[in-house]
């Protein structure tokens, strides 16, 4: 889908969409409860649907309602015929559920796009090798077979916090205690804090014992209770960016005490007003694309701690640099640093490309509100925020389907 986004200014009041990161964690925890309970305020993004499909395939009772689900009753030790779990392109789904799939002795195959299966999974591969568990990774699938045993696990701290979270979901079920050590440097710590906060609410104890070491007591049970997913600070960043670009958007539904690390975006914006700051985003890598977009409209930025952007749905630093060049803005991408130069933003003379990445699509759409232009593969936002463009339109941003526009005027843009 190609969209024509016209130069227009955002104004109005909007409620932030539900947090995808919290929803994954709360759905998994609720599914592992012995009784069915409600998880409300869900957005039906592709990633959340992937997690729900996989939880149901694993044996959870899932009943979809208008704004949420009734979910529970998943027994991760259930054996039987081999299972197939459709992860689509959701890295959270795959990495969170893989250790749970290893609790039983049944064969479980995770299906996903080639890009998903290209993303790092080495910590789990090492665990399976150490415990002599079956692990077979192909271009579009990963097959594993347990059972996982209690152990002392070491996880790289600068690859992805999702490996730590995945173990935290599964290890409390085991018959003996385990220990998880996160090897320095530890990045994305707020995401680990999110997982621990959700687990506490479901009655699971993860005990910090110093120096990024965690003790996980054995034979724990998830305590079922209804939950409502809180607003998403990651999505709110795109709306906050509209204000930075001159808009007047009032945001509702965000918890200032949330463990979500991406609430740091507000402080990043304050540091970018009138100057070119240096920001370390090692704890908040998902903010990389929108920070690059905002910097392109401002005075530039130096981003540090960016090496993990290459492992996302696209190589985000590289593709943002490629797209910013169409605006006349130069960006240089190094192994762990990105420079966005100061410049004069101009209307692109060729369509922008989301590269199939939802965060690239949203960041470019926000930037186009300043100068206008076309965005290809715009439907990529469905991975995390299906209603993104409708939200922009509700704030006064003029968006049209480019094909319909061409048929109306007989010309391009």
The CATH number that applies at residue 151 is 3.65.10.10
| 286 among known catalytic residues | yes
Residue 59 sits in which domain range? Answer: 20-219
Among the three residues 154, 188, 219, which one is the final residue of a domain in this structure?
219
Among the three residues 219, 246, 274, which one is the final residue of a domain in this structure?
219
122 Cα distance to chain centroid: 19
Residue carrying structure tokens 């920070």: 291
Residues 164 and 77 in one domain: yes
Among the three residues 195, 219, 243, which one is the final residue of a domain in this structure?
219
In this prediction, residue 407 carries a pLDDT of 52
What order of strands is seen across the sheet that includes strand 337-340? 278-280, 301-304, 337-340, 331-333
Residues 360 and 273 in one domain: yes
> pLDDT exceeding 70 applies to what percent of the chain?
98
Residues 267 and 351 in one domain: yes
Residues 314 and 199 in one domain: no
In this prediction, residue 410 carries a pLDDT of 44
Could you read off the pLDDT of 350-363 as tens digits, one per residue?
Answer: 999 999 999 999 99
Task: Check whether 229 has a pLDDT greater than 80.
Answer: yes
Residues 356 and 311 in one domain: yes
Residues 245 and 364 in one domain: yes
In this prediction, residue 210 carries a pLDDT of 85
| Within-domain flag for 213 | yes
Name the active-site residue from 43, 232, 262, 286.
286
HSE, CB side, 13 Å, CA atoms: give it for residue 285.
24
| Within-domain flag for 271 | yes
Residues 122 and 163 in one domain: yes
Could you read off the pLDDT of 332-342 as tens digits, one per residue?
Answer: 999 999 999 99
Residues 59 and 182 in one domain: yes
Helix (H, G, I), strand (E, B) or coil at 96: helix
Domain count, the chain: 2
Could you read off the pLDDT of 174-188 as tens digits, one per residue?
Answer: 999 999 999 999 999
Residues 245 and 177 in one domain: no
Residues 261 and 204 in one domain: no
How far apart are the C-alpha atoms of 257 and 196, rounded to whole Å?
Answer: 15
Residues 74 and 173 in one domain: yes
Confidence of residue 284 (pLDDT cuts 50, 70, 90): very high
**What is the pTM for the complete model shown?**
0.94
How far apart are the C-alpha atoms of 367 and 293, rounded to whole Å?
Answer: 6
In this prediction, residue 402 carries a pLDDT of 80
In this prediction, residue 128 carries a pLDDT of 98
Residues 157 and 237 in one domain: no
Mean pLDDT of 16-34: 97
In this prediction, residue 408 carries a pLDDT of 55
Q: What is the mean pLDDT of the chain?
A: 95
Task: Check whether 405 has a pLDDT greater than 70.
Answer: no
Confidence of residue 413 (pLDDT cuts 50, 70, 90): very low
| Within-domain flag for 226 | no
């Amino acid at each position: 889908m190609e969209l024509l986004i016209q130069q227009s200014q955002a104004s109005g009041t909007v409620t932030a969409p539900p947090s995808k990161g919290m929803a994954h964690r709360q759905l998994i925890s609720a599914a592992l409860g012995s009784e069915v309970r409600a998880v409300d305020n869900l957005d039906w993004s592709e990633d959340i649907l992937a997690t729900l499909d996989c939880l149901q395939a694993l044996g959870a009772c899932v009943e979809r309602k208008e704004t949420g689900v009734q979910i529970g009753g998943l027994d991760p030790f259930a054996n039987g015929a081999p299972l197939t779990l459709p992860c689509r392109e959701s890295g959270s789904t795959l990495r969170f559920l893989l250790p749970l799939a290893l609790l039983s002795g049944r064969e479980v195959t995770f299906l996903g796009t080639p890009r998903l299966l290209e993303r790092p999974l080495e910590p789990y591969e090492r665990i399976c090798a150490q415990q002599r568990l079956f692990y077979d990774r192909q271009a579009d699938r990963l097959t594993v077979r347990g059972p996982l045993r209690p152990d002392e696990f070491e996880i790289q701290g600068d690859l992805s916090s999702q490996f730590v979270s995945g173990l935290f979901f599964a290890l409390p079920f085991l018959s003996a205690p385990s220990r998880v050590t996160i090897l320095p440097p530890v990045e994305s710590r707020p995401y680990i804090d999110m997982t621990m906060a959700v687990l506490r609410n479901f009655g699971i104890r993860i005990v910090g014992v110093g120096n990024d070491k965690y003790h996980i007591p054995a034979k724990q049970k998830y305590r079922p209770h209804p939950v409502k997913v809180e607003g998403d600070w990651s999505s709110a960043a795109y709306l906050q960016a509209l204000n930075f670009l001159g808009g007047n958007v009032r945001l509702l539904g965000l918890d200032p005490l949330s463990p979500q690390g991406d609430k740091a975006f507000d402080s990043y914006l304050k540091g970018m007003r009138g100057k070119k700051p240096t920001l370390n985003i090692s704890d908040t890598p998902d903010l990389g694309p929108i920070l690059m977009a905002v910097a392109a409209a401002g005075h530039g930025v130096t981003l540090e701690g960016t090496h993990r952007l290459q492992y996302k749905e696209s190589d985000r630093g590289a593709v943002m640099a490629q797209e910013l060049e169409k605006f006349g803005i130069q960006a240089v991408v190094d192994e762990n640093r990105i420079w966005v130069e100061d410049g004069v933003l101009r209307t692109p003379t060729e369509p922008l490309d989301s590269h199939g990445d939802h965060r690239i699509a949203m960041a470019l759409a926000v930037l186009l509100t300043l100068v206008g232009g076309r965005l290809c593969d715009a439907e990529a936002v469905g991975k995390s925020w299906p209603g993104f463009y409708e939200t922009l339109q509700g704030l006064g941003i003029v968006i049209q389907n480019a094909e319909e526009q061409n048929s109306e005027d007989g010309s391009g843009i």
